[in-house]
Amino acid sequence: MKKMRIHLPLAFVATLFLFACSSCGPNKETPAWKHNDNTLRVRQSGNINTMNPLLARTKYESTAYDLVYQYPMAFDFDKLKLVPQLVKADPVVLDITEGEYKGGQSFTYEIHPEAVWDDGKPVTGRDFEFSLKAAFNPGMGLARQLVYLAAVRDFEVDEANPKLFTVFTFNKYMLNFAGISNFVVLPEHIYDPQGLMKKFTLNELTDPAKVAKIANDPALQQFVDFYNTPKIARETVSGSGPYRLVEMVDDQRVVLAKKKDWWGEKLAGQYRLLQAYPDTIIFLPIKDATAAITAVKDESVDLGSELDSKQFSEMRQLDFVKNTYNFETPQTYKFFMTAMQNRSPKLSDKRVRRALAHTIDMDMVIKDLYDGLGERLVGPFFPDQPYYLKSMQPIKMDLDEARKLLAEAGWKDSNGNGTVDKTIDGTVVEMKLNYAYSANSAYAESFALLMKANAQKIGVEIEPTGIDQKVLTEKLKNGEYELAARAGSGYPLPDDPEQLWHTSGAVPGGSNYIRFGNAASDAIIEGIKNAPDEATRTKLYHDFQQLVYDEQPVIFQFSPFEKFAVHKRFEPVLSRQGASLQHFKLKK
């Protein structure tokens, strides 16, 4: 998105000097930190199971591997935009006016001449071509991760300068630039030593008609089998970035160390994303919220993140903690919402979904359950986007309106047991809903219990159930739930609603967890992707937001502020993107 050590002997001498000069006038006492090294200890609330970018599935893993691997361009945490990392400058972008890819675009980049892999071999366009081919190998099962590369069709490396390369697309999709520029670059000679993927062109792997013809080629599966071995997933970690993997112990720690004589040091003054200050970065998985707070209090971590909001607010009032840590609460690109299975017979009527939304006072939720550390959301996009539909009004808590909507939808308490019911396909169905949430989230549990209490007042019975996060994710993917707590995150880019909202993803294993949508909503989403100009796209964005607002497919909650506890010996770089760990700098 330079270093200083205070050695123990020097600290001891400094202490003697302070005692000897106690009468010499004002003095500044050396802080008695638990650690004075240039090692950044980071709390994470989840495990790192792999350091391989194509096999990783969690934000905890990407936070770590982003320090080892690089991209043509990556996000600058301050500017909140893509800037050059592995390449010298922004790509040269041209419209294609003739030939096979007429109507598409070409993106030409040049990798830094200095860029090399750990074994000294140069990073070239062939490595990036391999990375794309590996990801598009149909056996890798990465279709969901390739949404923003769907328009890519071909690749060309300059024969005279292998660091110069061009990527071709067949259309002008609005996120072509971001999707290509922010895709990881892997060393071909390390991750495909047999050259299995060299047999195929990128065009053969991206053109659906051509993919069908080669799908059964044994070389594709041979590569998949090799790439998914434990050796590649966990042991062979080789990138062009500033850090290398030193140790990976399940459920305990992942240790990264800065490389000596790393090639990027020479360019760090010119390219901010080539700056790297900590000598060592240690990731510590601490899942329990209270244990994370304890780790901050006893200085076991230098960066406490994803801290429980109430415990965070209480902790930052303690003098002994304030003397050691700074507390930061930047806005984020994260969001909380209650997912509703729109195809469930109980929830298929939008009036029922709106009735449930009326059971929650979201402003009170933010204030009381999250200590005010959040910004309310009303729709699928963040309020700072230029196409945000400002006419959308927050849904207020209104139990009378909720009861009315349920009655209009045919849900009434016909048997006098306190729970509304309805005859569906000849069977009387009680409005009893299960609310699944991650057992590790104190906030999600509190929200579910609040919703249960309020929903009971309108004749709806909700049963909160805390389960393992992995189990919850699988239930969401397969639509095996009724209500569920869901968290997600975005990027400082134009929104493409396809992945979360298009009906093509409303299938088992798909990314449209709420099973929302129809032909009309799909048409709007596809229009946004391919709009000829910004005015047309903005109008479609507005139409989509209004549709989602009217249909109430989820209960939008809020965007939480991050809750960082940063050790005072570091100067951090924090933003809506999170913490840029490589830029944490020891104070002088």
- Going residue by residue through the chain (588 aa), what tens digit of pLDDT does each one get? 333 333 333 333 333 333 333 334 334 555 789 999 999 999 999 999 999 999 998 899 999 999 999 999 999 998 999 999 999 999 999 999 999 999 999 999 999 999 999 999 999 999 999 999 999 999 999 987 898 999 999 999 999 999 999 999 999 999 999 999 999 999 999 999 999 999 999 999 999 999 999 999 999 999 999 999 988 888 899 999 999 999 999 999 999 999 999 999 999 999 999 999 999 999 999 999 999 999 999 999 999 999 999 999 999 999 999 999 999 999 999 999 999 999 999 999 999 999 999 999 999 999 999 999 999 999 999 999 999 999 999 999 999 999 999 999 999 999 999 999 999 999 999 999 999 999 989 999 999 999 999 999 999 999 999 999 889 999 999 999 999 999 988 889 999 999 899 999 999 988 999 999 999 999 999 999 989 999 999 999 999 999 999 999 999 999 999 999 999 999 999 999 999 999 999 998
- Contact status, residue 444 vs residue 486, Cβ threshold 8 Å: no
CA 570 to chain centroid = 25
* Token pair in block for residue 557: 């909650």
CA distance 317 to 384: 31
Provide the whole-model pTM.
Answer: 0.88
pLDDT, residue 29, reads 58
- Contact status, residue 106 vs residue 96, Cβ threshold 8 Å: yes
Helix (H, G, I), strand (E, B) or coil at 99: coil
Among positive and negative, which fits the CA dihedral 125, 126, 131, 134?
A: positive
Amino acid identity, position 551: E
Q: What is 246-330+562-586's CATH number?
A: 3.40.190.10
CA distance 296 to 312: 10
- Contact status, residue 9 vs residue 17, Cβ threshold 8 Å: no
- Contact status, residue 168 vs residue 155, Cβ threshold 8 Å: yes
Burial of 148 by CB count in 10 Å (0-12 exposed, 13-18 middle, 19+ buried)?
buried
Domain covering 47-235 assigned CATH 3.30.930.10 in the classification? no
CA 1 to chain centroid = 15
* Token pair in block for residue 538: 């903005």
242-to-262, 265, 441, 576 alpha-carbon distances in Å: 6, 9, 34, 23
Among positive and negative, which fits the CA dihedral 57, 446, 308, 43?
A: negative
Q: Where are the domains of the chain?
A: 47-235, 246-330+562-586, 334-560
- Contact status, residue 546 vs residue 539, Cβ threshold 8 Å: no
pLDDT, residue 12, reads 30
pLDDT, residue 233, reads 82
pLDDT, residue 30, reads 56
pLDDT, residue 221, reads 97
- Contact status, residue 71 vs residue 85, Cβ threshold 8 Å: yes
CA distance 563 to 549: 29
Fold of the 334-560 domain = Dipeptide-binding Protein; domain 3 (3.10.105)
- Contact status, residue 584 vs residue 277, Cβ threshold 8 Å: yes
Quick one: which of 495, 488, 493 has its CA closest to 541?
495
CA distance 137 to 205: 6
pLDDT, residue 14, reads 35
- Contact status, residue 49 vs residue 238, Cβ threshold 8 Å: no
